[in-house]
Structure 1
Amino acid sequence: MVCPFDRAQALEQRQRDQAIAAQLASARPSGPSRTHCEDCENAIPAARQALGGMTRCVPCQSIFERGGQR
């Protein structure tokens, strides 16, 4: 008989693996980055710009990914 905790752990691991795979499969931004955030107009750090396709500073991108909730 399989322990319910083992089944729950296996399900959680499977869901985590699917979420990671979905995130890795999503398209990454490409092209030139902006020098200033499109939301707050603060400067985007050079290290972030080097990633390519960045349009928001880290705080604004975090808010955007959460669905605009503060």
Structure 2
Amino acid sequence: MASTNITNKHEDALTVGGVTIQPGRTAAVPDFDIASQPEPIATWVKLGLLVDADAKPAAEEPKGKAKD
């Protein structure tokens, strides 16, 4: 059983996979890939309320084209 470190970005405590994560805190959630599939947890993930604390941030795309 693998755990994923999940950070709660919501102002209220959220429970996922039997683990309650306080606002702004990070906790290890067992089998997060499975626990995050049902609603409302899937929506919390889509909204960015629950994020993988160990995930690398996506590279930012350039805002404009370079001028020749």
Query: Please, what TM-score do these two structures have when normalized by structure 1?
Result: 0.22
Query: Please, what TM-score do these two structures have when normalized by structure 2?
Result: 0.23
Q: Which has the higher helix share?
A: 1
Larger RCO (CA under 8 A, 6+ residues apart): 2
